[in-house]
Structure 1
Amino acid sequence: MTLPTSVGLCPDLRQETFELPAQAVSVADARNRVHERLLQWGFAPEVCHTARLVVSELFTNAVLHTDSDRIGCLLYVADGQVRIEVRDQGSYTSTPMLRFPGADEERGRGLQLIETLAQAWGVESAGLGLGHIVWAVIRP
């Protein structure tokens, strides 16, 4: 795991990147890495818990809905905001979007949770055939 970094003219810029196999067991590892790093950076436990939930949902979606071998995560903090980006290698059957499943459906609420917890979120193409980046911003 890399150490926090201060870069250039933005002394509060910190970032952590990691990549894990696109397997269900990696979700817990991603969740714990983000939580621990934010604690080390001095964020309140509530912020760490929120980030933990967000990365869990984003990583789970990448594992379940892409044909990726590996999933990358960028945890980025600047100007007091926490940004979490999850990058997959694979293709979605459709672009990730907010769904409103019926009461009897077991899945489909992950992005609703992101919508509730994050100040902003979105999906970007990582380039032709390179997968997607799904990101969320949390403001403490």
Structure 2
Amino acid sequence: MTLPSAIGVCPDLRQETFELPAQAVSVADARNRAFDRLLQWGVPVDVCHTARLVVSELFANAVLHTDSDRIGCLLHVADGQIRVEVRDQGSYASTPMLLFPGAEEERGRGLQLIETLTHSWGVESAGRGLGHIVWAVIRS
């Protein structure tokens, strides 16, 4: 006997979350976890590399620019798209935004890279005093 599918469940949906300490050494762990999981889910290798770079940039920004103790990451794959969310606990000096640093500046290009590599991206408040969620969508 075959049971009917649950209403609203997408058979192609794949989702995973993980949380790591807000430390520089966690950035490599985050990007490797994302790459490995997406590869296991059958996402094309070139798209896995793109997602790996996106996770790395967003996670590094949260480590560098917030006072978080822990940082969370969500990977959501459905309908030919990958949504990456990085949630911090802390507060930014300001809301993350796209910058255009001069040629001599060593930092400030991370969100330019995100802008180039993704279909869309944005920043949402996780709630008053609860940090931010920076998300990006990659088409696979």
Give the TM-score taking structure 2 as reference length: 0.94
Task: Indicate the structure (1 or 2) with the bigger Cα radius of gyration.
Answer: 2
Aligned to 2:14: 14
What corresponds to 1:112 in structure 2?
112
For 1:61, what is the secondary structure of its paired residue? helix
AA paired with 2:118? Answer: A
**Which residue does 1:26 correspond to in 2?**
26
- The aligned runs of 1:58-77 (5 Å cut-off) are 58-77=58-77
**1:102 corresponds to:** 102
Give a deviation string over 1:5-46, Cα, whole Å, max 9, x none. x99521111101000000000000000000000100011110
Unpaired runs of at least 5, structure 2: 1-5
The amino acid of 2:28's aligned partner reads: A
SS of equivalent residue, structure 2 residue 16: strand
Matched AA of 1:40: Q
Q: Is the 8 A contact 1:7 1:13 kept in 2?
A: no
- Residue 88 and residue 99 in structure 1: after superposition, are their counterparts in 2 closer, same or farther (change >3 A)? same
Q: Which amino acid in 2 is paired with 1:63? A: V
- Aligned residues of 1:19 and 1:73 also touching (Cα < 8 A): yes
Counterpart contact for 1:86–1:134, Cα < 8 Å: yes
1:88 is aligned to 2:100: no
Separation in structure 2 between the aligned mates of residue 7 and residue 31 of structure 1, nearest angstrom: 33
- Contact 1:24 / 1:63 at 8 angstroms: preserved in 2? yes
Partner of 1:45 in structure 2? 45
Q: Distance in 1 between matches of 2:46 and 2:125?
A: 31
Q: Give secondary structure in 2 for the equivalent of 1:96.
A: coil
What is the TM-score normalised by the length of structure 1? Answer: 0.94
Structure 2 residue aligned with 1:3 = none
Give the aligned residue type for 1:134.
V
Q: Does 1:126 align with 2:126?
A: yes
2:123 is the counterpart of 1:139? no
* Matched length: 135
Spell out structure 1 runs of 4+ moving beyond 6 A: none
* Structure 1, unaligned runs of 5 or more: 1-5
Matches of 1:125 and 1:78, distance apart in 2: 24
- CA distance 1:132–1:7, shift in 2 (3 Å): farther
